[in-house]
Amino acid sequence: MKTGTLKQVLLITDGCSNQGEDPIAMAALAKEQGISINVIGVMEQDVIDDQGLKEIEGIALAGGGVSQVVYSQQLSQTVQMVTRKAMTQTLQGVVNKELQQILGGGAKTMEDLPPEKRGEIMEVVDELGETVQLEVLILVDTSASMTHKLPTVKEALLDLSLSLNARSGSNRFSVFVFPGKHKEVEKLLDWTPKLESLTTIFSKLKTGGITPTGPAIKEAMSYFQQKRSLRSLLSRDDEQYFEESI
């Protein structure tokens, strides 16, 4: 089965955007390009306000991803769970499409099949989840309110790489923060299979300023695109190997 590479954005924020394009519209745009946007809302003791919650759920819904609000102590576990869930969801979508072709117009999704027929399909989804190539672009909100949550975010990201690197499929991560020093969004870490190098960069991070969530998502998309066109020029072999290996 052909699935290509799974492209995910993992947005970690604690509240409302207040600058630039509507993040929900930007998430919808990303989804149109095959990138899913997942959102994790981090809280301290404070409660997230209704508007923040709506935005978090709205972005994930429009971006075809998963959202979850957590207290910062539970961040590590949540980050890996959301990423995993999002992968399954996307792969499920791919498999469902395939299913429609096999079954014709009748069945639309796995849930239209009787329960005993779902097992085998789920096995395929599980296997793809284990082997598919994954690209995760991590977008971290570094506005003032996030200051004391950043150490936990760092831990959670290292933990995520531990989880994903246990798969047999390959992973690529990149990390962006917003707002950046000079621009709305700033690249911290270029595509790499290892997130460990994050440790040193993260401790030097400065927080403060506005929350341009929409522009951040928009920038993230372009980064995927650039990379993709570059890759399709440079490494056809890679792509082929991947398709054969499924």
Considering only residues 60 through 89, tell me which ones interact with other proteins, judged by CB under 8 A. 67-70, 74, 76-78, 81, 84-85, 88-89
Interacting residues of 15 by C-beta distance below 8 A, sequence separation 6+: 41, 48, 49, 52, 141, 143, 145, 211
Strands 171-178 and 186-192: antiparallel
DSSP state letter for 110? G
Q: How far is the CB of 114 from other proteins (least distance, A)?
A: 5
Nearest to 83 by CA among 25, 40, 52, 24: 40
First CA to last CA across the chain, in angstroms?
Answer: 6
State which H helix or E strand residue 69 sits in. strand 67-71
In angstroms, the CA 37 to CA 209 distance is: 23
Taking the least distance from each CB to other proteins, the nearer of 155 and 186 is 155
Contacting other proteins (CB under 8 A), which of 165, 192, 197, 207?
165
Binding string, residues 206-225; x marks residues near other proteins by CB under 8 A: --------------------
Q: Does 119 bind other proteins (CB under 8 A)?
A: yes
In which residue are the tokens 């401790």 written?
A: 203
Taking the least distance from each CB to other proteins, the nearer of 36 and 92 is 92
216 within 8 A of 185, measured Cβ to Cβ = yes
Burial of 112 from C-beta contacts in 10 A (0-12 / 13-18 / 19+) = middle
Q: How far is the CB of 74 from other proteins (least distance, A)?
A: 6
Q: Does 115 bind other proteins (CB under 8 A)?
A: yes
In angstroms, the CA 192 to CA 32 distance is: 25
Q: Does 46 bind other proteins (CB under 8 A)?
A: no
Q: Does 100 bind other proteins (CB under 8 A)?
A: no
Q: For residue 199, is it left (φ>0), alpha (ψ between -120 and 50) or beta? A: alpha
Rounded to an integer, what is the distance from CA 121 to the centroid of its chain? Answer: 24
Q: How far is the CB of 70 from other proteins (least distance, A)?
A: 6
Nearest to 173 by CA among 4, 8, 3, 5: 8
Q: Does 171 bind other proteins (CB under 8 A)?
A: no
Q: How far is the CB of 213 from other proteins (least distance, A)?
A: 20
Q: Does 21 bind other proteins (CB under 8 A)?
A: no
Taking the least distance from each CB to other proteins, the nearer of 148 and 236 is 148
Q: How far is the CB of 163 from other proteins (least distance, A)?
A: 5
Q: How far is the CB of 55 from other proteins (least distance, A)?
A: 15
Q: Does 145 bind other proteins (CB under 8 A)?
A: no
- Which chain residues interact with other proteins by CB under 8 A? 67-70, 74, 76-78, 81, 84-85, 88-89, 92, 110-111, 114-116, 118-119, 121-123, 125-126, 130, 159, 162-168
